[in-house]
């Protein structure tokens, strides 16, 4: 028996099927098993330690960052509604920009739309008001013209200030013209042409005696001037609508600070 045992052990060692490369996958070597299990334990421990470190770093960063820099994973209903309306506004404004460039569907009418927009610029209106003020010889006419000049200057200052605060660009990448730079109408919100047209139409309707056809034409002119800015791609629809609202508010402001005839005469004498 003792001699047979060494012989059987030698036979097992010489048998190629008992070598490591021929062992079944279901019966791996004990050494490999132990090394693999130890490797798995070490990797799991290292992964757990790394995850804890990452969580600690994220907590520190979230504590350091202000709330507005953190991502809002659950936006409010107001935020969703606002973003949806903003997307609709941009989409509709781009579709209505039929004269944005020469290749647009109404590109041939771009010159006429630009000419209509010039009638709403502040510089021609200020220059025309000054000329009429110089030629006016009545106290009532000078009073109305001085307050109209005040309204035009207030419109330029208020719209320029609001545009600098909002800094919203138009639906198309169109550079402002020379008159736009002179009136500081370089951004989209609110539309300066729309606010000026609304303010002027309301001013003339209140302080000038006009026939009904002229009153209707005056309102139509203000609407056409406002929406012509959408057609050439300079403003969004909401920019024009807000411009109409601000124009009406500017008219109400001028009515509150209306300069009397004596004040106007004193200013004209100084000038």
DSSP code of 99?
T
Can you tell me whether residue 72 is helix, strand or coil? coil
Known catalytic membership, residue 236: no
> How far is Cα 156 from Cα 166, in angstroms, rounded to an integer?
15
> How far is Cα 30 from Cα 107, in angstroms, rounded to an integer?
82
Q: Give which of 236, 228, 226 is closest to 92, Cα–Cα.
A: 236
Cβ atoms of 179 and 121 within 8 Å: the answer is yes
Query: Which residue in 121, 193, 207, 236 is the catalytic one?
Result: 193
Which residues does 208 contact at the CB level (< 8 Å), separation at least 6? Answer: 144
Alpha-helical regions (H) of 169-208: 178-182, 192-207
Extract the tokens encoding 38: 């130890």
Known catalytic membership, residue 235: yes
Query: Which residue in 121, 207, 235, 236 is the catalytic one?
Result: 235
Burial class (CB within 10 angstroms; exposed 0-12, middle 13-18, buried 19+) of 244 = buried
> How far is Cα 121 from Cα 14, in angstroms, rounded to an integer?
103
Catalytic positions, written as ranges: 193, 235
């Amino acid at each position: 028996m003792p001699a047979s045992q060494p012989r059987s052990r030698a036979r097992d060692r010489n048998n190629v099927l008992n070598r490591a490369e021929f062992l079944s996958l279901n019966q791996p070597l004990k050494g490999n098993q132990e090394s693999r299990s130890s490797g798995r334990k070490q990797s799991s421990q290292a992964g757990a330690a790394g995850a804890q470190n990452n969580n600690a770093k994220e907590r520190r960063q979230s504590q350091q960052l202000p709330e507005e820099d953190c991502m809002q994973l659950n936006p409010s209903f107001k935020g969703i509604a606002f973003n949806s309306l903003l997307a609709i506004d941009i989409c509709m404004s781009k579709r209505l920009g039929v004269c944005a460039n020469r290749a647009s569907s109404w590109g041939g009418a771009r010159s006429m739309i630009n000419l209509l927009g010039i009638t709403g610029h502040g510089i021609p209106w200020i220059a025309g008001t000054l000329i009429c003020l110089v030629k006016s010889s009545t106290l009532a006419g000078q009073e109305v013209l001085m307050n109209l000049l005040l309204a035009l200057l207030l419109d330029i200052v208020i719209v320029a200030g609001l545009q600098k605060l909002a800094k919203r660009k138009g639906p198309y990448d169109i550079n402002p013209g020379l008159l736009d730079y002179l009136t500081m109408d370089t951004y989209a919100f609110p539309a300066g042409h729309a606010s000026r047209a609304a303010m002027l139409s309301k001013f003339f309707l209140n302080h000038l005696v006009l026939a009904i056809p002229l009153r209707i034409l005056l309102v139509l002119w203000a609407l056409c001037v406002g929406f012509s800015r959408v057609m050439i791609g300079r403003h969004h629809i909401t920019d024009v609508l807000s411009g109409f609202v601000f124009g009406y508010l500017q008219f109400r402001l001028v009515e509150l600070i209306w300069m009397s005839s004596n004040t106007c005469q004193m200013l004209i004498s100084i000038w």
